Amino acid sequence: MKKTALLLGAHCHQPVDNFREVVDEAIERAYKPFFREVVKYKDFKFSIHYSGWLLEYIKDNDKELFSLMKESCENDQVEFLGGGYYEPILA
C-alpha cells in the first residue's frame, strides 16, 4: 500500500495588546491543550507559527506552555515558522 504524507501547519495569533483575559483564555482552551497532546506522540511532526509578541507573552506568562513548546522542539517534532513580530500587513 502506498504511503501518503500529511503536512500539518498551524497559525496562532492574537491582536497586539489584546485583553489579557482573552489571550489567557486562548492559551488555556487552545494552545496549551494542543501541545499537551502532541508531546505524547513523538512521531507526530508539524509546523506552527506564532506572532512575535504572542510568543514573547507565552514565554513571560505561561511557563508550562513554553516548556511544552520547548520539549516538542527538542524532540524534533515541531518546526516553528517566523514572521513579522507584530504581524505586519505588508510582510
Residue 76 has φ and ψ, to the nearest 5°, of 55, 35
26-59 tens-digit pLDDT? 999 999 999 999 999 999 999 999 999 999 999 9
72-to-32, 56, 86, 91 alpha-carbon distances in Å: 12, 17, 24, 27
C-alpha span between 91 and 11 (Å, rounded): 15
Residues 6 or more apart from 71 whose CB is under 8 A from it?
Answer: 39
Q: Label residues 74-85 b or e (16+ Cβ within 10 Å = b).
A: eeebbeeeeeee
The percentage of the chain sitting over the pLDDT mark of 70, rounded to a whole number, equals 98
